[in-house]
A = this chain, B = another copy of it.
Amino acid sequence: MDMEKVNSMDFREFVDVFGNVIERCPLIAAAVWSQRPFSDLEDLEQHFSAFIDALPQAGQEGILRCYPDLAGRELQRGTLSAESQREHSAAGLTSLRAEERLRLAELNAQYRARFGFPFVLAARLSDREAVARELARRLRCPPALELRTALGEVKKIGRLRLADRLGADSARM
Interface residues, chain A, with chain B CB atoms under 8 Å away: 10-12, 15, 24-35, 51, 54-59, 61-66, 112, 116-117
Bound state CA distance, A25 and B51, in angstroms?
15
Q: Kindly identify which residue among B10, B31, B34, B116 contacts A34, using a CB–CB cutoff of 8 Å.
A: B116
Q: What is the minimal beta-carbon distance from A16 to any residue of chain B, in angstroms?
A: 11
Verify B35–A66 contact, CB threshold 8 A: no
Question: How many copies of this chain sit in the oligomeric assembly?
Answer: 2
Instruction: For residue A23, give the distance in angstroms from its CB to the closest CB of chain B.
Output: 10
Given A15-B66, A54-B56, A56-B54, are A61 and B30 neighbors across the interface (CB < 8 Å)? yes
Instruction: Please give, as numbers and ranges, the residues of chain B lying within 8 Å of A15 by CB-CB distance.
Output: 65-66
Whole-angstrom CA separation of A30 from B22 in the bound complex: 14
Docked-complex contact A65 and B11, CB < 8 angstroms: yes
Known: A32-B58, A54-B56, A58-B34. A63 touches B116 (CB 8 A): no
